[in-house]
């Protein structure tokens, strides 16, 4: 496919719908610390922050959420035992202190005396026990992130194998002391306790109330730096500063308006007109046609992200139950062309699963980009194995987004030209799209993954079993065994080698086609300071403020 021609067509089409006005940016990193912000000196009188989160959050129940849109709200309204600070390190949050046993298997957390829920109740160890065990309850069918808790002793057995919840290593010593026993030493466990699946819930309020997280009602009781004042579905969420938050003196924003504007051009126009203080990552996207202009005027912020954009193959359906067919589709994509001519956000072509920010060697990956000749050989071999002369038309699905649509159209042309396959495009709204993938009602689907914590296993363990966040329906016993082996290996180099072996199996089987490794790309007004944009794809407003 002629990517230059595609890029020119894209730019001309979008130029008619977008105003490329000069936008204020902050050349210093927006997530840098500032003594001015934390002290309150130099702050504007109006501490209202307006941001677009693009779409309705699929779930604001910490135990059910699995996506970045929901996370963008949960990171502000809830808080775990730890919180990841702007330097990327876990620091004490609901826990004022903790101890770790010499064998690294037992963590004892001491919860702050001044930690309270938004209804005035104290945050207790029982709240953490209840929330975590709710996720691990086999009857909690929507808890797709339960595996994040499997580092805890007895957790996986309770969720999957009929084990007793009494044997799970979560013990309430007293109201303010939580003891956690791990199945094996886990160097990233403190990072996990900052993740939203590990957030507590007020068990006195939510126990027996299944719909407590569906609206901004009296049942939506939270413990983070912000409270949810209102939730107008598919339109806007309004957050207010939590005056009873234990670290309220650090919080400057009084009001946070989170809009749900699905069109990138509209949100950029709102940013240009002053209706938004922020546009782009990690809660929204910028129009592709605007990227070069924004780069040129110096207003665009770009930072690395430990994330991957990929096309998932439904290995439960023909022809993608055949590994050679999957390889043919994966190798016949021109990734360099996509990131240079379409997305233009300094992404890195991906020929592996784990990002190079975690494994530097994955900058090269496991195969050559745009290897059309090799792709054709895989196609011929796959057709022979399936007893076919040619492939029938296939369907490529993606959720609503200008960028997703543009990439899909480019890949559609690549597969037609390189493999002779007709590709039908299918666009669905985010919640509908997630349901389609979860139910296996797709052939090829756009998806991505951003690290929950900075470790390779976070990308690899997704595909240990089908279901949950593994929409490919692919499973491999040897792969799963290696993931399990890595969990008990305490030598860092040996552990990495085990995980590298697992990734090799994964890339040989190719249940997905990696496209590129992500970047965060955004605009912020000059007076917006200290928003923490994480390499893990999250955004934290706790430290943010509007300067004079």
CATH of the domain at 458: 3.10.105.10
Q: In the block, which residue shows the tokens 């299918």? A: 426
Say if strands 90-92 and 82-84 run parallel, antiparallel, or are unpaired.
Answer: antiparallel
Q: What CA–CA distance (Å, rounded) separates 439 from 437?
A: 5
Same-domain check for residues 538 and 493: no
Same-domain check for residues 257 and 353: no
Q: What CA–CA distance (Å, rounded) separates 546 from 305?
A: 25
- CB-based burial of residue 266 (10 Å sphere; 0-12 exposed, 13-18 middle, 19+ buried)? middle
Residues 6+ apart with CB under 8 A from 9: none
Same-domain check for residues 529 and 491: no
Q: What CA–CA distance (Å, rounded) separates 540 from 247?
A: 14
Same-domain check for residues 459 and 496: yes
Using DSSP's 3-state secondary structure scheme, residue 532 falls into strand
- For position 41, what pLDDT does the model report? 61
Alpha helices of 78-165 — where are they, by DSSP H? 125-136, 155-160
Assess contact for 350 and 356: CB atoms under 8 A.
no
Does residue 40 lie in a domain region? no
In terms of residue numbers, what domain contains 192? Answer: 48-269+525-546
Cβ atoms < 10 Å from Cβ of 501: 15
Same-domain check for residues 85 and 132: yes
Q: Which helix (H) or strand (E) holds 521?
A: strand 512-524
Does residue 210 lie in a domain region? yes
428 CA to centre of own chain: 19
Does residue 355 lie in a domain region? yes
Q: What are phi and psi of 480, to 5 degrees?
A: -60, -40
- For position 143, what pLDDT does the model report? 94
Does residue 31 lie in a domain region? no
Does residue 283 lie in a domain region? no
207 CA to centre of own chain: 28
- Nearest CA-CA partner of 432 in 400, 467, 462, 458: 400
Same-domain check for residues 106 and 180: yes
Residues 6+ apart with CB under 8 A from 344: 288, 291, 292, 295
- Nearest CA-CA partner of 351 in 341, 361, 340, 337: 361
Q: What is the dihedral of CA 80, 224, 213, 209, to 10 degrees?
A: 70
Q: What CA–CA distance (Å, rounded) separates 402 from 163?
A: 46
Cβ atoms < 10 Å from Cβ of 424: 11
Same-domain check for residues 261 and 322: no
Q: What CA–CA distance (Å, rounded) separates 93 from 223?
A: 11
Same-domain check for residues 314 and 210: no
Read off the pTM. 0.81
Q: In the block, which residue shows the tokens 């199945």? A: 183
Domain at 104, CATH number: 3.40.190.10
Residues 6+ apart with CB under 8 A from 144: 64, 66, 467, 468, 469
Same-domain check for residues 134 and 248: yes
Q: Which residues of the chain have pLDDT under 50?
A: 1-40
Number of domains in the chain: 2
Using DSSP's 3-state secondary structure scheme, residue 530 falls into coil
Does residue 21 lie in a domain region? no
Does residue 499 lie in a domain region? yes
Does residue 392 lie in a domain region? yes
Same-domain check for residues 158 and 218: yes
Q: Is the dihedral of CA 244, 249, 255, 256 positive or negative?
A: negative
Same-domain check for residues 254 and 352: no
Q: In the block, which residue shows the tokens 């403190």? A: 190
Same-domain check for residues 63 and 178: yes
* Angle of the 477-488 helix axis to the 492-509 helix axis, nearest 10: 170
């Amino acid at each position: 496919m002629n990517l230059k021609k595609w890029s020119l067509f894209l730019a001309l089409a979008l130029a008619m719908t977008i105003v490329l006005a000069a936008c204020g940016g902050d050349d210093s990193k927006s997530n840098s610390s500032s003594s001015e912000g934390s002290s309150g000196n130099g702050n504007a009188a109006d501490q209202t922050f307006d941001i677009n989160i693009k779409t309705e959050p699929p779930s604001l129940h910490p135990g059910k959420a699995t996506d970045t849109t929901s996370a963008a709200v949960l990171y502000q309204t809830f808080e775990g035992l730890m919180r990841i600070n702007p330097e990327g390190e876990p620091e004490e949050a609901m826990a004022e202190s903790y101890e770790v046993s010499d064998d690294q298997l037992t963590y004892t957390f001491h919860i702050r005396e001044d930690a309270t829920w938004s209804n005035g109740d104290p945050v207790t160890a029982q709240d953490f026990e209840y929330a975590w065990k709710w996720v691990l309850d086999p009857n909690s069918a929507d808890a797709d992130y339960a595996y994040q808790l499997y580092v805890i002793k007895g957790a996986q057995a309770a969720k999957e194998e009929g084990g007793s919840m009494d044997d799970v290593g979560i013990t309430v010593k007293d109201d303010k002391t939580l003891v956690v026993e791990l199945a094996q030493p886990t160097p990233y466990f403190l990072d996990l306790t900052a993740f939203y699946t590990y957030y507590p819930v007020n068990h006195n309020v939510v126990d027996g109330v299944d719909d407590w997280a569906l609206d901004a009602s009296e049942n939506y009781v939270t413990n983070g730096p912000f409270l949810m004042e209102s939730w107008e579905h598919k339109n806007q969420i309004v957050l207010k500063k939590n005056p009873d938050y234990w670290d309220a003196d650090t919080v400057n924003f009084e009001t946070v308006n989170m809009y749900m504007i699905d069109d990138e051009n509209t949100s950029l126009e709102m940013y240009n007109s002053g209706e938004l203080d922020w546009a782009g990552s990690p809660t929204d996207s910028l129009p592709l046609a605007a990227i070069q202009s924004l780069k040129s005027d110096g207003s665009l912020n770009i930072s690395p992200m430990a994330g991957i954009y990929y096309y998932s193959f439904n290995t439960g359906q023909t022809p993608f139950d055949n590994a050679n067919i999957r390889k043919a589709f994966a190798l016949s994509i021109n990734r360099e062309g996509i990131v240079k001519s379409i997305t233009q956000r300094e992404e890195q072509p991906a020929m592996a699963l784990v990002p190079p920010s975690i494994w530097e060697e994955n900058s090269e990956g496991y195969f050559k980009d745009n290897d059309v000749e090799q792709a054709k050989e895989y196609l011929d071999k796959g057709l022979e194995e399936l007893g076919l002369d040619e492939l029938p038309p296939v369907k490529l699905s993606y959720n609503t987004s200008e960028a997703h649509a543009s990439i899909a159209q480019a890949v559609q042309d690549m597969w037609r030209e390189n493999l002779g396959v007709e590709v039908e495009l299918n666009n669905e709204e985010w919640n509908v799209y997630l349901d389609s993938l979860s139910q296996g009602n797709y052939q090829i689907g756009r998806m991505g993954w951003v690290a929950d914590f900075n470790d390779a296993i976070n990308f690899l363990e997704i595909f240990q079993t089908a279901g949950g966040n593994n929409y490919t329906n692919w499973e491999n016993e040897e792969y799963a065994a290696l993931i399990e082996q890595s969990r008990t290996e305490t030598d860092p180099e040996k552990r990495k080698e085990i995980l590298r072996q697992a990734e090799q199996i994964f890339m040989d089987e190719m249940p997905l086609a990696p496209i590129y490794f992500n970047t965060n790309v955004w605009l912020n007004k000059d007076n917006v300071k200290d928003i923490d944009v994480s390499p893990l794809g999250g955004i934290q407003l706790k430290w943010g403020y509007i300067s004079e």
